[in-house]
Structure 1
């Protein structure tokens, strides 16, 4: 395009980047660049582009974009007066915090704004814009569209009339702009109101020849002829929801559709929410607070649901919980909801359901519930009911709310990142109008808002895009997926899917799809390796109770788990790069021993009778706190916080929370470490023909937004490898990283075949032997003498490369590993390296000659070349493959 060529050298000015709290994402920078073209390019000279629309997905940062545009228009075009308007008080108040309240955590500018060496002030204007403004001031006035309309067309004192707005040029920032356009042929009260709002904005626009009207919305109905004609030449930038999801800036979205009652759905989602929290803490050492939203159609129904919820929590006992788990694990199978099955099985395996019940009663008590409905059914807003601050600070550790009950107030303008479950409360009546999608349109918008990504610290880094692909199943489902729970009402589901399609919001059912049969190639079954070959894994041995004499014997390094992530709030809008977030680790030396004793006294796990099950040599609780075990007198906790956090100012509640997190993590480590088995250096060969088999596996599925131009690409898919004669299976369900590994080996297979007559790569999928005892035999276990991190659970490397000639039978373990999991699974790579470096220690069950077991470093985007070079060194005794040209496989 000529316009792009004409302005191709323009980049986002540094003063915008320097003065915004969040580094703009690529699409936000592009939106400002396109706006710059409209204001400077000859192409737009005669189009008078004074009314423009930014069609941006929910959660994509429209307000951050506004902040950038304000700086641009102030510096480049001399605008000092800005009027922000929207149709709800909640969004209005939130935006005041965003744009002018420097004390707010959600303020989007840096605390000190400086352009060309001059300090710039941003002022909140409550009356008239100043007649003689300071040239270094940016003035922003905030009015709801209702108030603005009344003031413009009703004579009153101390308000700005149309005549007052004529004095200086101004920029109007109109948010949720889809409310300002009346539809074709409709004369309802709502449409007449929209028409009056539209008239107000256009009247303001025309009060000065240099005025600008910039509109922002995530929702535009292009099927409506009037809407289409109005905006077809005004949309300057569009970043739709499907692109937002595809680019990884959102959670995945899954629908859980069951035949459960409302009460059963309530208890299921509580268990799932707690499982999310525990999984994050026990697996990654991070403390998240998952929020549940119960959505009703009517206020009375919402209050009734709130009452039933409280009643259910009050009546929950160990017996009713166990009965519920047993029943639900059968009535809601994997095919209906895999995530719920994970939660049910987690709790069914717990020895102490009494602690679970107590935690649920405490975590979901009435004081942890926020009802966002007006109790008197009036038109009062959230501000009048005093709930605005609580609703917009749900990510904060000091905000204890876990559950929200609401009808329609939260569909727009609600900023929450840690919303993981939306539960539709079903009304008794059926949906009778098959074409009525008004309510499902609203719910689809709410799902889109709830899908905003919740950044969390991992390996002391923050990411604002999804880290786990869907092959890292549990982590993806629990930490990066929003679940929408509903009853399985066919007509409602049909309407909801139509609404999701209309929004281009890619979702899928949470149930597992019909399995795909992964088959061994007939040609592989005819080979010598298949018929007579073996795969080798090391044997385990029983660990006597006498071994467990201190926490180190459980693989626990107190110094590691005594460092607890604790952030003042989730990174609410999340446009910072991981490198730009400054974190620090600080010691908490002032925590009194009473905090530890109080925390431990509240935990059933640390009762002596229970602790003795896992610490067989423990003599008493005092012994546990003493120098032989916890050494509480010398224990120092540390916290990972934002750089500006002053840990010395932590309240007693915060300190106790940190201690609770430490003991929660310690309990999970103790349970994981008491395995009673450990690896040895004795390797056993398992017959390939007996252990390798065909197996079923499922691919994640999306069934809405299929026709979107940016339909979400599957991170995990069924890849055919028929063309590769060295690959043992016809296909494999794998992610991109694993596919890249197979392709990389394919590039060098001819060179390998020059030395080895038989070259075969085998995908060792855990589904292959699922449900049999054999699955545990095909695992590697630590057998190092003094591993850096002791881990008793085994693992199955994803691939085995078998190379055979007349002299050698070489088995190489290969483990592709995404960067986000490298640190967590470092012990696996260290075990593979130990095998390489201690060949003389390996003992084989059978008297075999020429068998060599080796392992490679993790394979991923960052070190693919190093891993391939290591393969060349092991297999060919050379520094690299002769054809090892660096390829852009990623």
Structure 2
């Protein structure tokens, strides 16, 4: 297999010296970037490789446009590299730059990066100057009347660019803009423009230029002038697709993986915290860690406000969780935290309670803090298009002191183009998987990429001798500020999903040495319950058992049902590197008769399920005389058994809510079997 351009340049540096490319970078690039930015070794390497390629690479054709790809880890500063290359190309006579991407959210963010000098995200120095010449950067609608002495940038979505060029309007960008002047095209999240390449179409230059598609439009602009330059940036180039790999083999100038980014200390360390608890209690663990982290930062006088992302599968579920979370936080009581404290907490949660005790903070006072910091007005939802556009400014300024939001609720709107440093917890509120044959599905890959986005390091230090933008406590595992360098990914207990997540993390450049351990580790994977504690149907339940052939009206109804109680066990593990083997949580199974739970419990469950209205039962069982008979008679529910699995403290002493949840599950399973058959 032939070497990529990145590999060729890396091989060349072995003979030229490790700093060969870094030494290519002129001082004016660093002088005109935000103070202290751009000087990380890999960023200097990214600048230097381009400068060498443009000026001295022997195999570059001087007669054709330059097309290069930067594959750089999320959070490593792709936009900063763009800014530095814009400055360098200005000195090479380039004045017009076309920035395009697939999302308007990313455009808004990049405008702040390149144009808004008052923004904390601005990437240039307050005054741009090369030599004694002042430089102005401005946004333009087209290049016909561009400033020949400044830097002119057109911002566009890929879709908008395609529409503007193929259905031109007055004062809009047209193909004429590109005919007589050289242009630099900058493509962010560049994997989106490879629609044709992914299809494997092998088209000639003229045919491709005529095709009305995103990729065809970009190629037509690119090939309009022999001195044009196309710079693509992405964290995920899909190089495993043969057609894409072939396309970029001689264009991949710099490949800086998330694995390397993390190993060099520039990212947070990621922990996977699986918990066999309800979604709200999973979210509550995130809330406790977030507030604990905030208090640790305050102890060291660091003005950092940690935020949480609550990720749902659908907008409807996200909206429902917002209501549930708000209500439950308002009703939060000491007993809720006591239960979490005493139900086999993982080490991270245990540290929260140890800290509160050592700092003499009562649970009552801590709950008061939580109710204030996570009140409804401090939660922001960015699910719909309208919400994400309206609230994008707030979501992109979460680090600002004036921004009071502590939690974000989203589905997919923040998967790309979201630059946030103070995200420390991501709570996955659903428990589904779309992998096949052990391979991660599209959803899991997107979740792995979201983890990479959340792993951006939030800079702080407690000594001037410490590096500001790198982890400092990898070897100080007991230091309380270590939690300020960790991102927690909160998941339900689902071994198959975690295996697929590890595969996805590996594919995007993070090699997990072994599967993270589950938060509760039953000796045997528990059966998925069909009904949760609220009585709602769980669609991920296993198949029903085979019917038992007995006498009576329930002759073909299964007589024994298994119910798995959430154990409350949890454990945090390192998603990227070493994990410690954990002892399995003790799981026991006890068999009860359904009637052992009490007639009042069974009646309460029956009243929640319309199927068990007496008139409906009477139509199926004409000899039935009453609900009491239906509950107690061996011909109906009196002979039904329930095998309850869970922690010994649970199975030996079932609480009324647990009895009700078990009864609801059993009745729901019986109802589905009854509804599938005709009964006389």
Shift of 1:302: 1.1
Alignment length (residue pairs):
499
Q: Please say if 1:265 is aligned against 2:270.
A: no
- Shift in alpha-carbon separation, 1:702–1:504, aligned structure 2, 3 A: farther
Structure-1 residue corresponding to 2:205: none
The partner residue of 2:76 within 47, 53, 60 is 60
Q: Is the 8 A contact 2:68 2:251 kept in 1?
A: yes
The partner residue of 2:381 within 358, 371, 381 is 371
Q: Is the 8 A contact 1:253 1:483 kept in 2?
A: yes
- Shift in alpha-carbon separation, 1:79–1:397, aligned structure 2, 3 A: same
Q: Is the 8 A contact 2:434 2:444 kept in 1?
A: no
Paired with 1:102 and 1:116, the residues of 2 have a C-alpha distance of 21
Structure-2 residue corresponding to 1:133: 147
Does the residue aligned with 1:497 lie in a helix, a strand or coil? helix
Q: Please say if 1:180 is aligned against 2:213.
A: no
Q: Is the 8 A contact 1:364 1:403 kept in 2?
A: yes
Q: Is the 8 A contact 1:431 1:491 kept in 2?
A: no
Shift of 1:701: 7.3
- Shift in alpha-carbon separation, 1:424–1:299, aligned structure 2, 3 A: same
Paired with 2:237 and 2:244, the residues of 1 have a C-alpha distance of 8
Structure-1 residue corresponding to 2:179: 166
Q: Please say if 1:212 is aligned against 2:229.
A: yes
Q: Is the 8 A contact 2:25 2:51 kept in 1?
A: no
Does the residue aligned with 1:92 lie in a helix, a strand or coil? helix
Structure-2 residue corresponding to 1:466: 471
Paired with 2:574 and 2:242, the residues of 1 have a C-alpha distance of 30
Structure-2 residue corresponding to 1:86: 101
- Shift in alpha-carbon separation, 1:263–1:403, aligned structure 2, 3 A: same
The alignment's C-alpha RMSD in Å is: 2.8
Where in structure 2 are the equivalents of 1:387-406 lying within 5 Å? 387-406=391-410
- Shift in alpha-carbon separation, 1:313–1:186, aligned structure 2, 3 A: farther
- Shift in alpha-carbon separation, 1:184–1:285, aligned structure 2, 3 A: closer
Q: Is the 8 A contact 1:3 1:37 kept in 2?
A: no
Q: Please say if 1:310 is aligned against 2:314.
A: no
Q: Is the 8 A contact 1:181 1:195 kept in 2?
A: no
Q: Is the 8 A contact 2:435 2:444 kept in 1?
A: no
Paired with 1:19 and 1:279, the residues of 2 have a C-alpha distance of 36
The partner residue of 1:343 within 352, 371, 382 is 352
Does the residue aligned with 2:83 lie in a helix, a strand or coil? helix
Shift of 1:112: 0.5
Paired with 1:430 and 1:69, the residues of 2 have a C-alpha distance of 41
Shift of 1:167: 2.7
- Shift in alpha-carbon separation, 1:351–1:364, aligned structure 2, 3 A: closer
Structure-2 residue corresponding to 1:142: 155
Deviation string for 1:528-575 (max 9, x for gaps)? xxxxxxxxxxxxxxxxxxxxxxxxxxxxxxxxxxxxxxxxxxxxxxxx
Q: Is the 8 A contact 2:272 2:573 kept in 1?
A: no
The partner residue of 2:492 within 474, 487, 493 is 487
Does the residue aligned with 1:310 lie in a helix, a strand or coil? helix
Deviation string for 1:351-372 (max 9, x for gaps)? 6222111101100000110101
Shift of 1:257: 1.1
Shift of 1:208: 1.3
Structure-1 residue corresponding to 2:245: 228
Deviation string for 1:16-56 (max 9, x for gaps)? 11111043111111111111122111513437461100111
Does the residue aligned with 1:458 lie in a helix, a strand or coil? coil
Structure-1 residue corresponding to 2:635: none
Paired with 1:509 and 1:408, the residues of 2 have a C-alpha distance of 25
TM normalised by structure 1 equals 0.53
- Shift in alpha-carbon separation, 1:168–1:381, aligned structure 2, 3 A: farther
Shift of 1:160: 1.5
Paired with 1:300 and 1:85, the residues of 2 have a C-alpha distance of 32
Q: Please say if 1:246 is aligned against 2:255.
A: no
Q: Is the 8 A contact 2:24 2:51 kept in 1?
A: no
Paired with 1:345 and 1:242, the residues of 2 have a C-alpha distance of 33
Q: Please say if 1:360 is aligned against 2:408.
A: no
Structure-1 residue corresponding to 2:388: 382
- Shift in alpha-carbon separation, 1:436–1:116, aligned structure 2, 3 A: closer
- Shift in alpha-carbon separation, 1:370–1:512, aligned structure 2, 3 A: closer
Q: Is the 8 A contact 1:83 1:173 kept in 2?
A: yes
Does the residue aligned with 1:473 lie in a helix, a strand or coil? coil
Shift of 1:510: 7.7
The partner residue of 1:30 within 42, 45, 49 is 45
Where in structure 2 are the equivalents of 1:699-710 lying within 5 Å? none
Asked which structure has the greater RCO (Cα within 8 Å, sep 6+), the reply is 2
Paired with 2:520 and 2:277, the residues of 1 have a C-alpha distance of 20
Deviation string for 1:193-235 (max 9, x for gaps)? x982111111110111111100000002222111111111100
The partner residue of 2:421 within 417, 426, 435 is 417
Paired with 2:355 and 2:145, the residues of 1 have a C-alpha distance of 66
Shift of 1:481: 0.6
Q: Please say if 1:505 is aligned against 2:505.
A: no
- Shift in alpha-carbon separation, 1:226–1:338, aligned structure 2, 3 A: same
Does the residue aligned with 1:44 lie in a helix, a strand or coil? coil
Q: Is the 8 A contact 1:468 1:475 kept in 2?
A: no
Does the residue aligned with 2:186 lie in a helix, a strand or coil? strand
Does the residue aligned with 2:175 lie in a helix, a strand or coil? coil
- Shift in alpha-carbon separation, 1:6–1:281, aligned structure 2, 3 A: closer
Shift of 1:157: 2.3
Structure-1 residue corresponding to 2:166: 153
Structure 2 segments unaligned to the other structure (5+ residues): 1-8, 202-210, 522-571, 581-680
Shift of 1:102: 1.7
- Shift in alpha-carbon separation, 1:471–1:111, aligned structure 2, 3 A: closer
Q: Is the 8 A contact 2:112 2:121 kept in 1?
A: yes
Shift of 1:381: 6.7
Deviation string for 1:348-399 (max 9, x for gaps)? 665622211110110000011010111xxxx54722xx21111011011110
Paired with 1:141 and 1:357, the residues of 2 have a C-alpha distance of 50
TM normalised by structure 2 equals 0.69
- Shift in alpha-carbon separation, 1:506–1:480, aligned structure 2, 3 A: farther
Q: Is the 8 A contact 1:152 1:162 kept in 2?
A: yes
Shift of 1:184: 4.1
Q: Is the 8 A contact 2:341 2:350 kept in 1?
A: no
Paired with 2:519 and 2:405, the residues of 1 have a C-alpha distance of 32
Paired with 2:454 and 2:270, the residues of 1 have a C-alpha distance of 9
Deviation string for 1:296-351 (max 9, x for gaps)? 11111111111111011111122333233323xx2x3xxxx321221244346656
Shift of 1:99: 0.8
Q: Is the 8 A contact 1:338 1:512 kept in 2?
A: no
- Shift in alpha-carbon separation, 1:430–1:108, aligned structure 2, 3 A: closer
Does the residue aligned with 1:426 lie in a helix, a strand or coil? coil
